[in-house]
Amino acid sequence: MKLHVIHAGNFKLDGGAMFGVVPKSIWNKLNPADENNMCTWAMRCLLIEDEERLILIDTGIGDKQSDKFFSHYYLHGQHTLLGSLKDAGFTAEDITDVFFTHLHFDHCGGAVRRSERNPDNYELVFPHARYWSNEKHWQWASNPNKRERASFLRENFLPIQGEGRINFIGSENPFSDWFDILYVNGHTERQMLPMIKYKDKTIVFVADLLPSVAHIPLPYVMSYDTRPLITIHEKEEFLNEAFSKNYVLFFEHDPSIECATLQTTEKGIRVKETFPLSKIL
């Protein structure tokens, strides 16, 4: 098995929204904001190469939305989803499975694009892949609450269902014994965090439970989370387990840090070491 970091570019979000109740005088030292109070965040996906399967975890924001939409999120950087796949030696046609941690636009938008033949229609970016979510989250996204409605864009995922390509993960693991899933509900209903056994490590793709290293302290919870108190509880349980079992955390949105391990301090669990994923490959 091989792992590949797939960079899908950078975007910006409001710093206050990303750090919730934490004052700007504190969080601005961690991820400095621009003149519009916007901070840069990565869209860092993960590709798992396992024998005949190529499993892509999340797909970034994509490029099919309107100019007005993108004017709010300031896409930038040299990386693109398909460009990073090419750099890793693969094409979209090679992908066998696309795993969505959840269906917010910055995690699944790159899976669907406008058709070149008819821009009013949509097509799947990965034509040979099976796409994976879970039924409870799919229903949550398909019938969104007012708080999350702007994050669940139907054109990002309903075309997958229309093509008959969505698969729901149930009680049985559709991948292998080296792939497990942690379900969390604070950010959104039934978010899935892949836990990958690799060599002698467990690598956890922490998605939006911990968007960045800066979010490890318990009070650092995004205003985007639907149930912030549940997020705090889930973070505490996960961080304790991650420390005791020496997990490697893989960050999807941290602007510069790919991975970290943990240690206990007088302030609670904090970062022990940060490093690129290549260090353990």
User: Domain residue spans in the chain?
Assistant: 2-280
Whether the pLDDT of residue 175 is over 90: the answer is no
Give the whole-angstrom CA distance, residue 270 versus residue 216. 7
Nearest to 202 by CA among 261, 269, 251, 278: 261
Distances (CA, A) of 84 to 5, 125, 140, 254: 8, 14, 31, 17
Note the CATH number of domain 2-280. 3.60.15.10
Contacts of 227 by beta carbon, 8 Å cutoff, 6+ apart: 185, 186
**Residue located via tokens 């024998």:** 51
Q: What is the mean pLDDT of residues 197-216?
A: 98
- Residue 178, helix vs strand vs coil: coil
Share of the chain above pLDDT 90, in %: 94
pLDDT in tens, 9-26: 999 999 999 999 999 999
pLDDT bucket at 116, cuts 50 / 70 / 90: confident
Share of the chain above pLDDT 70, in %: 100
Give me the pLDDT at residue 171, please: 80
Say how far residue 250 (Cα) sits from the centre of its chain.
Answer: 10
What are 22's two structure tokens? 């934490």
pLDDT bucket at 115, cuts 50 / 70 / 90: very high
Q: Point out which residues pair with 112 in neighbouring strands.
A: 124
pTM of the model: 0.98
Residue 265: DSSP 8-state: E
